[in-house]
Amino acid sequence: MAYRIVVIGTSWGGLAALRELVATLPGSFALPVVLVQHRHRQSDHVLATLLQDRAKLKVCEVEDKSPIQPGSIYVAPADYHLLIEADHFALSTEEPVRYSRPSIDVTFTSAADRYGAGTVGVVLTGANADGAAGLERIATRGGLAIVQAPETAESPAMPTAALRSVPNATVLTITGIGALLSGLSVPERAA
């Protein structure tokens, strides 16, 4: 299967996990990577900056209609939902979903419906259940569902909830997730 997009969702404890994970991705990584991290609605670009310190890939915060390009890491901006179109991102200020905006479920669902089996979804540490329904949608569409091993997560609630929704998801440590992502097959035009 050739994958086309990686979507990663996390909440409490996510900064450390994301910094570790993005550091493992090689500079030649050929898929777009989309990060949804819950945070305060008035957070600024500091998350992207902190991740850029560690990443070999270019990290940027998404603006409305910005193109989705392989080999870039995109951060969902605070206080917007992030939706996926065929070749670009779209933002929305609709109501928070389960108190979250950005909502991991919204982005995961949007990616699964747009890219189908070409979607890779990753649920990392977090203290709520966001991402579980979205990961289920990814699995339903034939995509790859990955969950951080709950016992290795700073806050196991979110990985645990995701595993309840997708019991046969691939369970790995951050290092393992990085290795798996780095070895994924990608479309030929992007390879």
Looking at the chain, how many residues does it have?
A: 191
Does 133 interact with other proteins (rule: CB under 8 A)? yes
- CA angle, corner 98, sides to 92 and 101, nearest 5? 30
Instruction: Choose, by CB under 8 A, the member of 26, 49, 58, 65 that binds other proteins.
Output: 65
Rounded Cα–Cα distance for residues 139 and 155 (Å): 23
Size of the site for other proteins (CB under 8 A): 36
Q: Please enumerate in sequence order all residues whose Cβ is within 8 A of that of 176, keeping only pairs 6 or more positions apart, or say none.
A: none
Cβ atoms of residues 135 and 165 within 8 Å: yes
Q: Is 100 a catalytic residue?
A: no
User: Among 110, 119, 125, 148, which residue sits at the site for other proteins (rule: CB under 8 A)?
Assistant: 110
Q: Name the minimum Å distance from CB 154 to other proteins.
A: 26
By CB under 8 A, name the binding residues for other proteins. Answer: 42, 61-66, 77, 79-80, 83-85, 90-95, 105-106, 109-110, 113-114, 116-117, 133-134, 136-137, 139-142, 165
